[in-house]
Structures are given as C-alpha cells and as structure tokens.
Chain A
Amino acid sequence: MTEINRRDLLRGSAAAGALALAGLPIEALAAGVQQLVVQSGALNSLDPAHQISAGDEGRVAILVSNALLRYAAGDKFDLVPDLATGYEVGDGGKTYTFKLRQDVQWHGGFGKFTARDVKWSIERILDPATKSRNAGQFKDVAGVDIVDDHTVRFRLKEPSAVFPHAVATFRGGFMMCEAAAKAQGADYGKMVIGTGPFMLEKAVLDQEIVLKRNDAYFGDKPKLEKITFRVIRESSTASLAFERGQLDLIDVNDREQTDRYAKDPKSTLMISSVTTGLYLLTFNTAKAPFDKKEVRQAFQHALNKKAIVDAVYAQRGRVVDSVVPPGVEGYTEVKSYPYNPELAKKMLADAGVKDLKCSLTVPTSYQREAVMIQAQLKQVGITLDIKLIDRPTWFRALGQSEHDIIWNAHFRAPAADAFLYPSYHSSNQPPKGTNCAFYAGVDELIDKARVTFDEKARTDLYAQALRRIAEDSPAIPLTLELNTYVTRKSVKDINVYRVPENAPVLERAYIEK
C-alpha cells in the first residue's frame, strides 16, 4: 500500500462530499466522463528504443505497453508476470526461457502478440542501425530464439542471475509490435501500438498525449475512459492549473507544495513508500585528502542527513545509510554514522587536515540540498564551494575525474547489482564508466554475486559488500526522495509504482461521483 495521507483521508471525508463538486474538472462534470488530465514533463518519444525519461515517458509507456515481467506496486520491487506467465533458467544461468500469455491482442487490429514480436523488439533495440539509447539494457544478450509461438528463449553471453530485470517494465523492456512498426515506419515513436490497458488516441509530442481505454485488454479493465497527459514544464503554472481544476493530477517536487496539499481538504497527496532514486555524495578518492578513509568518515559525521530531509523534503524524504535503497533486492541495513560535528572536527585534525577547502559539483536541480550541505560543513571548518552545472554537464562530470566531491543520483533498476556494479566496481572507473569515486574495494563480491543463483547466498554477498562500502565511505548515501503526486479527493484508488520511476498507477483509478 502506498502511504496515502491517512490523516487527510480520515479528517477530510466529511468535508469531501461538499467540496467534491467544486473540485471536479468542469468538462468531466458536464459529460460525466471518467477521465483525468495529468501533468507531464517533456515527452520526446514513446518508442521504447528511444525513451529518455523513465519518469515522464515511462508513465505513459506503462499504460500503453507491457513487458515480459513487471514490477508489482508494493513496498518491495517484486518482479511479477506481465506478458510472460513465467520463466525457466537453464544452462547454469546462460539461458532464460519465457512462456508467454496466449490471450494478448495488439491495439488497432494488429493481431496477436507472439514470440516473434519479442525477438523482433529485442533485436531491433540491439541493432546498431536503430541507434537505441537503451541498447545497454540487453548487452548480455547473445541471441533470442523462437521456440514456438508462445515460448521464447534468451541466450546470454555470460551467466547472469539479474537478467530478468532487463525484460521488465523499464525503458527498453516494453514490447513492440513488429507488424505495426513496419506499417508505421518512422512515425512509430509517435503512435505506439501496445498491448496495455490504454491505447493512444492522439499524440502531439511535446504538447499532449491522449489515451483511451483498450476494451480488449487481457487484464483487469480500467475504469477510466480517457487520460490526457499535458506537457507543462513550469511547476508554478501546473500548481495554479491544478487548483483551478484544469489539471487533475500534478507532480509535487518541493516541501512547500507538500505542506500545502497535505493541509488541503480537497486534495489527496500520494507519497510512495520506497523509491529507486538514491542521492549520494561521491568522493574522488584519487584526490587528497579524500584518499584517506578517516577524512571521508569525518564527512559522514559532519553531515546531518535528518536536517536535510526535514528542511528539503519533509515527509517525502527518508534518510538512507546504504548505497542500495531499502526494498531493493540485496538491501541490508548497515552502520550509520551519527551526526557529531565535534567528532568530525577531531577526526579531521587527527588526519592532519586543517581549513579544508573543496568543491561540490552539483546539478542545478539539487541546489537546496547543496546549500544545506555547505552550511553543515562550515560548522566543522570545511569551506565548500558549490559548483552548479546543468544535467548534461553533470552526466559527463560523473564519468570524469575533475571533481572533489560530486552529487550523485542513482535511478536504477531495483537490483543491488544495478547500484553496485556501475558505481563501485573498479572496471567502471572513469573514463570507462561512472565509478567516479575511483573505488575498488568490493570487486570480488560483486563478481561473485553475479553468478550466484542461490538467493540466500547472493543476498549475503551483497550484505558484505554494502557493509564494506559503508565502512570505506567512498560515497555518503544521503536521502531517498519519494515520488509524490497530488490529485483531487474525488479521484480514487490511485497508487504509485516503483518502476517505472515516478509512474502513478492509473489503470485502477476512477472518479467518484
């Protein structure tokens, strides 16, 4: 269950009846149509090969398309069947054989979903000519074989215990229709043909996308007839539009809005209980004085994570100590460094560090956190220079070695390997990858876990790795920012998915008259 604001549900119920009328969008009220208008960020492409943002495009994709597996909406990131009914692992983890549902129809009369579509979808993404940005998701795949119409086998280059995440509802994992893509050609990114509970009615990318209910959906039929995603970048504009009834659901991105809507009797605030989005400070351990473990640990004691959460996120943030977020396969609790500026000062002095001046490289959207961190470090005599950069520059900086300390945000598939391998395995040190901590302390644990198929043993290996990283502190995990939405009280049964990132679960939602 999502942590929908219970206090509001209880207190607001009496008032809700009177206010529901005022809260309904005018059009919906007039026509009595079950429809929602939802704020969206930039929508560039709905083609799974070219999807950029798992948040904005992913939330449309999950309504229109299916993958072989999907992440359940719940506290854990469990993989459950979607288009596949189940799978078998063979050849010591080198082959995965999926059994497919037989009752799945493509939208728009493009026929039945079969193993051919699976093979074609994956091969299309892997084909260099497609120039897919999501090809890396299937880099372990050596080939896809059609066993029969409803059985498909993946051959992997090396055994992998974490492969099922690649064919789940995340970025490139959504299945495409061979017949439709061939019929549509280059326009495929605009009018995606899927198998999901909704289908595209209209798509003006960068403006709006209108979905209508797919009555032939193989799963539970949605109650909403129509969902419109409107692209609105400016959150102050979205906020005004929501309160005026021109939008039914908007993103909540800061503490002020959270406070405001938590108090608003006409609105329901939805906060996910977990997220795969993890924020950290990563040290450049190749640079003095960050090559000293004691200095990094002093930073751990100097930072008051709770204060950052309270100030920046309030109820939509959580303090985190492990470099793998809770709820993710492989998570374990690790030692936490209590906030203790005096101890931090002493540790710095013991390490021979005086009047430390260093810089924090941070993208503009995390200014608030940076300002808090700067003030906290000042208390222990560290002068932090905030270097603000925009996202593309930041992406590049993560694969380089110029930084002292860099802000890191990991939005990964919910598996320990996805968090550990790219960021802490020595083979991914820049310029080869984004292990911009230049850390090499847990290589053998990560490698071993990758080929350990016994779940208990694998979890154990990850636990060891997480504890060692917490001790070495190449990075300081700070916070989880929970996905948050606000909608009208009259909109019922909305949930928040874990993956794709940020997606509200709309297929069961309905508007209470």
Chain B
Amino acid sequence: MPALILKKPKALAGLLLVAVMVLLALLAPWIAPYDPLALDPAVSNQAPSAQFWLGTDFFGRDVLSRMIWGARPSLLIGFSSVAIGCLIGAAIGLAAGYFRGWVDTVLMRPVDVLLSFPIVVLALALVAALGPSLLNLILTISLLFVPRFARVVRAEAMALRELDYIDAARVAGQTPVVIIMRHVLPNALAQIIVTCTVFMANAILVEAGLSFLGVGVTPPEPSWGNMLAEGRNNILGAPWLTTFPGVMLTLTLIGFNLLGDALRDILDPRLRGLQA
C-alpha cells in the first residue's frame, strides 16, 4: 500500500501537504520568527513587509508566527477528535453490524438520534454547555463523529459478516470478539482509514465554523479558525489577516481530501480492477 501511495500523484500531493503542515506544527517553536502572543500596538495591522513577512494583526502580533503556531490546535483538534470519534464509533459500529438484532437496535438508536441534529447546532450547544476550551472542543467534535463512524463501520461489518470465511470461523467455534478483531476489523480497516482522513478535514472545518460563531479555540492562543474569524471584520482594510490563515487551512484540507480520495481509489475493491 505505501508503494501505491507514492506512485499516485494525487496521493503524493496530499501526503506532502499534510506532512508540511504537521512539520510546521511540530517545529513551531524553532521556525516561528516571533512570539505569537507578543503584543506591540506600535505595529498594529501592518501590511506584509521585510520585517513581518505576512504582516501583523490588530495587536501587532506577527501573522506568520501566529499562523505557524495556529497549525497546532487546528491539527490537534483534527487528529485527536477523529481518533476518539473513530475508537468509540468503530466499536459501536462493529458490534452493531456484527451482532445485529437487539444489540444493533440498542446501539444504533442513539446514533440515529445524534445524527438527526445538524452538526453546527449540536456543536454550538455542546460547547456552550461545556465552556470553550481546547479539550472541550475536541470532545465536542469527537462526539459529532461517533455516530458517523458508527454508521460507516456498521455497514462494512454487516457486509463482512455474510462472507464465507467468517462463517467458517464461527463454525470453528471462535468467539465473537476474536472474529471481530481478527477477521472483521482488518477488512473494515480500509474504509475506516479513508473515513478518518475525510473527517480530519471536517474537524478542522468545524473548528473554523465554531470560531466564526465565537466559541472556537480561545484567544489569545491562535488557531487558523480564530485567526480567520478575528480578521474578517477588517477584510477590506487588512486582507492579509484572513488570506494567509485561510489559504493555510484550505491547503491542509485539500491535502486531507486528496489523501482520502487517493486512498479510496487504492483501497476500494470495487474500483481496484480499474486501476490497472
């Protein structure tokens, strides 16, 4: 599979974009030219220059430095909320899809209920209830993904359980847990990975949307979402405030989406025949 990724230009581009962003986030303390939180009202809202490559914001903070540091919460929210959502959601989906019957009903009814709320509305209410903090944002966004992962994985599990070799395992007397872990999960993994990459992009978008509504990552800590949201009122006077974080965010999401799309092409068995 890794070899396949490298062969596809789409996958390579996606991987590259994501890797660059992750590197930016990891290396932020060393590569950011200024302290992202240092205030200097004397250089408020300066256009890009040799001193400040991407200009400064309202408080005279360096936009480039904030953008580099802003990669951290944005990516952290993406990775961790998807990880949590995936763990819980996949567990629910596997159990519901494999056992069906009353297990399915008990597990999936709440999932359907959660799904029936519009994402933004549910997130807004949850963050309002918990109070805005990075941890609460991650928990909220994870909760949004749980039912969605559960749905996807359940469908996979339902299809897999009908396959002959799983029947064989059942007849051979293996316990359901073993069957699920050894046979169902590995086969559903492709679909789960694809879903993860796509949801990663979604998580970052949701954070941006919540920032717009005033409940995203709390300032003064930068995130791409809250930089965009803070800069938007001055979109005519200081366009650099929104343009750069906006472009970063968009590039990252394109990276995840490209990667997801390429992985789907590679992993989707229905399309595999067409790849030759």
Contacts and interface: CB of A to CB of B under 8 A. Distances in A.
A374 B220 contact: yes
Contacts of B214: 364, 390
Interface in A379-397: 386, 388-390, 393
A311 B44 contact: yes
B128 interface: yes
Nearest to A257: B233
A489 B249 CA distance: 40
Nearest to B132: A388
Contacts of A259: 237
B168 interface: no
A310 interface: yes
Q: For the side of the interface on B, what is the size category?
A: 20 to 34
Contacts of B174: none
Given A388-B132, A389-B131, A243 B236 contact: yes
B218 interface: yes
B219 interface: yes
B262 to A, nearest CB: 36
A256 B41 contact: no
A356 interface: no
Interface string B223-235: 0000000001111
Given A307-B41, A390-B214, A236 B237 contact: no
A481 to B, nearest CB: 16
Given A236-B232, A310-B41, A364-B214, A371 B237 contact: no
A256 B218 contact: no
A260 interface: yes
Given A307-B41, A371-B39, A256 B128 contact: no
B215 interface: yes
Contacts of A236: 232-233, 235
A256 B234 contact: yes
Contact of A371 (B131, B132, B220, B236): B220
Given A235-B233, A310-B41, A389-B131, A256 B238 contact: yes
Contacts of A494: none
Contacts of A388: 132, 218-219
B5 to A, nearest CB: 40
Q: For the side of the interface on A, what is the size category?
A: 20 to 34
A239 B41 contact: no
Interface in A220-237: 235-236
Nearest to A243: B236
B58 interface: yes
A142 interface: no
A179 interface: no
A368 interface: yes
B125 to A, nearest CB: 12
Contacts of A235: 233
B233 A390 contact: no
A256 B58 contact: yes
A240 B215 CA distance: 24
Interface in A462-482: none
B233 A256 contact: yes
Nearest to B41: A311
B220 A386 contact: yes
B250 to A, nearest CB: 19
A311 B238 CA distance: 16
A184 interface: no
A294 interface: no
Interface in B29-65: 37, 39, 41, 44-45, 58-59
A311 B60 CA distance: 10
Interface string A232-264: 000110011001000000000111110110000
Given A307-B41, A311-B41, A368-B58, A239 B219 contact: no
Given A260-B237, A311-B44, A371 B232 contact: no
Nearest to A259: B237
Nearest to B59: A371
Nearest to A374: B220
Contacts of B218: 386, 388
Contacts of A307: 41
B4 to A, nearest CB: 45
A177 B5 CA distance: 75
Contacts of B233: 235-236, 239, 253-254, 256-257
A239 B233 CA distance: 8
Contacts of B45: 256
Interface in A384-412: 386, 388-390, 393
A204 interface: no
A156 B125 CA distance: 44
Interface of B: 37, 39, 41, 44-45, 58-59, 128, 131-132, 214-215, 218-220, 232-238
22 contacts: A235-B233, A236-B233, A236-B235, A243-B236, A254-B233, A256-B58, A256-B233, A257-B233, A260-B237, A307-B41, A311-B41, A311-B58, A364-B215, A367-B219, A371-B39, A371-B59, A371-B220, A372-B39, A375-B39, A386-B220, A388-B219, A390-B214
Closest 6 A-B residue pairs measured CB to CB? A311-B41, A256-B234, A375-B39, A364-B214, A371-B220, A236-B232
Given A307-B41, A367-B219, A390-B128, 6 more contacts: A239-B233, A368-B59, A371-B39, A372-B59, A386-B218, A389-B131
